[in-house]
């Protein structure tokens, strides 16, 4: 297997789009390279649940016709993009990596899918995930685990592990994932790519199959900070179909990427550098802080005291919302149905057969937290903790322009290493969950490798709607020597 995928040969997504726009390359040629890469290596990586080859070829042909006529189909013209398989795609199987959605083909596109198409991008397939986005390793999938392209014996992270792996392996230059408690940033860190969780409401959730509605957010995966900025510009913006969508216009996120960090105040979050963070990950994070200081930023220790309660609050709020959202999967309207003598028995049999162990665990936990007599003691208290976390972040941002932290406590761990211990698996999100609870943006940028030679991700966190500032700091980290240091499918750089 060649370690160089089509994304590596084509350059960045921005460069690829420019080549297609100018006629130097055809969209059809670029697409065939992407499909060939998937055909050659996805048998090992297993990033995709479904490859949309014929649909993609039709889109590429249309793009080439438009370019030949002198049209500009958009900022991502001809760029292959992978879609997490919880994003509705009209007429294409959308499974959430669950048996319970067996055979379901949505009658509409998610807003982000529509916006990608309007920008000239080519959707090439639907990527694997932890079932209904519940997991941190992409091992909780009805279709089997995805493998990390940097080391196929390791997990790619989760829940958007398929999307992260697709970009890391060079199958596509860009991908979309969803981030409820770190499900974009954590796999980005483990696979050595860039992953972005925008401000809650910055990107429409219309057409995203809901896990926890007050936490879910769609965002980009890319090999570079610049590519991720362009992709976010394309998918962001108000959508009347989403009641939580922010009406404010989206500023240019690409214009000031080279602006540097001179004069910016950066806070290194002490609570996210504490117990449980591997020494090599902590070391890379401090090196990232030093790099920003060398580039002209003022770097000091910061404190977000309530962040230490983030994991506990999240694993009450998210399962509670999941138990409500997943009640619709009952064998009546769509997807799997297991026949039984009565309607009630059919629903029980369908949900028993259709949901995996982790989804059942969270539904039961969430239903318990919402039940009479326990609501105030568990769910209500978790929501109060969420408010405390938001207040502590607000206080920190009075002193600092951005915050810095590790993305994941460790580098990628071996497949099967934590599947028997749910708490050990949940701890993988300890650094990412706080910004989901506060609703603020964060980006994971590759910054060197751990002692095992695998990528380390460093996280830049910013106040709500300050993505432009966040991207500027991320670009400075990238320029300072970031990067996973590992090529796809196990080859060293």
**418 in catalytic set:** no
- Please pick, among 97, 136, 141, 159, the residue that the annotation labels catalytic: 159
**159 in catalytic set:** yes
Dihedral (CA of 478, 450, 459, 228) sign:
positive
Peptide bond into 463 cis (omega under 30): no
> What pLDDT tens digit does each residue of the chain (493 aa) get?
333 344 444 589 999 999 999 999 999 999 999 999 999 999 999 999 999 999 999 999 999 999 999 999 999 999 999 999 999 999 999 999 999 999 999 999 999 999 999 999 999 999 999 999 999 999 999 999 999 999 999 999 999 999 999 999 999 999 999 999 999 999 999 999 999 999 999 999 999 999 999 999 999 999 999 999 999 999 999 999 999 999 999 999 999 999 999 999 999 999 999 889 999 999 999 999 999 999 999 999 999 999 999 999 999 999 999 999 999 999 998 899 999 999 999 999 999 999 999 999 999 999 999 998 899 999 999 999 999 999 999 999 999 999 999 999 999 999 999 999 999 999 999 999 999 999 999 999 999 999 999 999 999 999 999 999 999 999 999 999 755 445 666 433 3
Domains, the chain, ordered by start: 6-267+399-490 (3.90.1300.10), 308-382 (no CATH)
Name the pTM for this structure.
Answer: 0.95
- Strand, helix or coil for residue 151: strand
Task: Calculate helix-pair angle for 357-370, 310-325, nearest 10 degrees.
Answer: 100
- Please pick, among 98, 136, 141, 183, the residue that the annotation labels catalytic: 183
> How far is Cα 259 from Cα 280, in angstroms, rounded to an integer?
30
10 Å CB burial of residue 27 (0-12, 13-18, 19+) is buried
**Measured CA angle at 23 (ends 21, 28), to 5 deg:** 90
**61 in catalytic set:** no
> How far is Cα 410 from Cα 203, in angstroms, rounded to an integer?
29
- Strand, helix or coil for residue 126: strand
> How far is Cα 76 from Cα 235, in angstroms, rounded to an integer?
11
According to DSSP, the residues that pair with 447 across neighbouring strands are 483
- Please pick, among 26, 34, 84, 254, the residue that the annotation labels catalytic: 84
3-state secondary structure 425-492: HHHHHCCCHHHHHHCCCEEEEEEEECCCCCEEEEEEECCCCCHHHHHHHHHHHHHCCCECCECHHHCE
* Per-residue confidence (pLDDT) for residue 486, from 0 to 100: 59
**Measured CA angle at 246 (ends 243, 250), to 5 deg:** 145
Nearest to 305 by CA among 404, 407, 385, 215: 385
């Amino acid at each position: 297997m060649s370690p160089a995928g089509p994304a590596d040969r084509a350059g960045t997504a921005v460069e690829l789009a420019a080549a297609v726009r100018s006629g130097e390359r055809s969209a059809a040629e670029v697409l065939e390279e992407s499909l060939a890469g998937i055909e050659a290596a996805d048998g090992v990586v297993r990033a995709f649940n479904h490859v949309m080859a014929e649909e993609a070829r039709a889109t590429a042909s249309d793009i080439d016709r438009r370019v030949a006529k002198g049209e500009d189909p958009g900022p991502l013209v001809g760029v292959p993009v992978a879609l997490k398989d919880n994003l509705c795609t009209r007429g294409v199987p959308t499974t959430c990596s669950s048996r319970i959605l067996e055979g379901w083909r949505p009658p509409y596109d998610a807003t982000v899918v529509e916006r990608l198409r309007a920008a000239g991008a080519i959707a090439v397939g639907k990527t694997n995930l932890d079932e209904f986005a519940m997991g941190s390793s992409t091992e909780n999938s009805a279709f089997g685990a995805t493998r990390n392209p940097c080391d196929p014996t390791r997990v790619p992270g989760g829940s958007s592990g398929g999307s992260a792996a697709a970009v890391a392996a060079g199958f596509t230059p860009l991908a979309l994932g969803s981030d409820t408690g770190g499900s974009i940033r954590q796999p980005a860190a483990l696979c050595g790519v860039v992953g972005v969780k925008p401000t809650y409401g910055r990107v429409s959730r219309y057409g995203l199959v809901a896990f926890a509605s007050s936490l879910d957010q769609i965002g980009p995966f890319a090999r570079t900070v610049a590519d991720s900025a362009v992709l976010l510009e394309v998918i962001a913006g108000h959508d009347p179909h989403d009641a939580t969508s922010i009406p404010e216009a989206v500023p240019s996120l690409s214009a000031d990427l080279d602006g540097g960090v001179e004069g910016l105040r950066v806070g290194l979050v002490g609570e996210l550098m504490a117990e449980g963070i591997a020494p090599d990950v902590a070391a890379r994070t401090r090196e990232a802080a030093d790099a920003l200081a060398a580039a002209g930023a003022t770097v000091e220790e910061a404190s977000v005291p309530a962040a230490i309660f983030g994991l506990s609050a999240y694993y009450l709020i998210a399962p509670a919302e999941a138990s409500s959202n997943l009640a619709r999967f009952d064998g009546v309207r769509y997807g799997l149905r297991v026949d039984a003598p009565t309607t009630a028995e059919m629903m029980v049999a369908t949900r028993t057969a259709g949901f995996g162990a982790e989804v059942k665990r969270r539904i039961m936990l969430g239903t318990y937290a919402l039940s009479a007599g326990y609501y105030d003691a568990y769910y209500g208290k978790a929501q109060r903790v969420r408010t405390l976390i938001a207040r502590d972040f607000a206080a920190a941002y009075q002193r600092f322009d951005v915050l810095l932290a590790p993305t994941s406590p460790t580098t990628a761990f071996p497949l099967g290493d934590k599947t028997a211990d749910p708490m050990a698996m949940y701890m993988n999100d300890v650094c990412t969950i706080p910004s989901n609870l506060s609703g603020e943006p964060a980006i994971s940028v590759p910054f060197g490798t751990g002692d095992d030679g695998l990528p380390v991700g460093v996280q830049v966190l910013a106040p709500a709607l300050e993505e432009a500032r966040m991207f500027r700091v991320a670009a400075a980290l990238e320029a300072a020597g970031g990067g996973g240091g590992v090529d796809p499918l196990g080859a060293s750089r």
